[in-house]
Amino acid sequence: MKATLYIEMENYEDGDFDVSNSYYKSDEEFFDAMDRENKKYSNVAYDAISGLGNLSNKKVAKFGIQNNFSKNAATNNYKSEVIILNENGEDETVDNLISNCVSQDVVVNIIKFNRDNMDEEFEEDFNFWIDDHNNINKYKDKLGEDKVWENEPIRNFKVEFLNNANETKYAMMVNCKVLEQEGNDEYAILAEKIILIDNL
């Protein structure tokens, strides 16, 4: 099934990220500060997923930067053209997609992403998601599959597709997690449920 996946992201005005030019006296001082922060928080990812970190004391990596985000940031949908297959690698059907929406059961699909038809913002977030998945799975031997699975990064995707009457319809894939990479930009993805939505 050909479809379009969307992610919703907040946009900020350029001024939202303004910082003082005099915060660091030189580039060398800035890079020294970044190096200290990286060393200080080098085990945060491991600590966070293993429960060993002292999260009650807010041990998080800030890398010395405080962002001044606008409260009125606009949200935009960014898209990627995809092909959706069922868990057996066969073309997903509209009827099966609708049945999955009605049942609201856990669903596994294989999704083929097309980077040639992917918004830049979608691609950037997609790369972060895959990197986070790969990084967390490095700890599978130390922490066990259950602990790693609990901390898998999740994404919600909106899906635009044509129904059997050639009408545009929308659905939401809720709390998606990467199961495994099937091929080049082709991933088995588990959605907690899929629900029909009225619009993007």
Give backbone dihedrals phi and psi of 134, rounded to 5 degrees, phi first: -65, -40
- % the chain with pLDDT above 90: 63
Residue 64 pLDDT > 70, yes or no?
no
CA angle 109, 113, 117 (to 5 degrees): 145
Q: Which of 47-51, 114-118, 135-139, 195-199 has the lowest mean pLDDT?
A: 47-51
Whose CA is closest to 161, among 100, 116, 120, 105? 100
pLDDT for residue 62 is more than 80: no
**Spatial distance between the Cα atoms of 44 and 24, rounded to a whole number of angstroms:** 25
pLDDT at residue number 200: 87
pLDDT of 29 reads: 74
Q: Is the pLDDT of residue 103 over 60?
A: yes
Question: At residue 191, does pLDDT exceed 50?
Answer: yes
The encoded tokens of residue 146 equal: 């259950």
Q: What per-residue confidence (pLDDT) applies to 57?
A: 43
Mean pLDDT of 163-167: 96
- Percent of all residues in the chain with a pLDDT value above 70, rounded to a whole number: 70
Report the pLDDT value the prediction gives residue 21, as an integer from 0 to 100.
54
Write down the pLDDT at residue 36: 73
Average the pLDDT over 174-182 and give the result: 95
Q: Given this model, what pLDDT does residue 40 score?
A: 62
Q: Does the pLDDT of residue 4 top 80, yes or no?
A: yes
Inform me whether the pLDDT recorded for 51 exceeds 50.
yes
Q: For residue 44, what pLDDT is reported?
A: 56
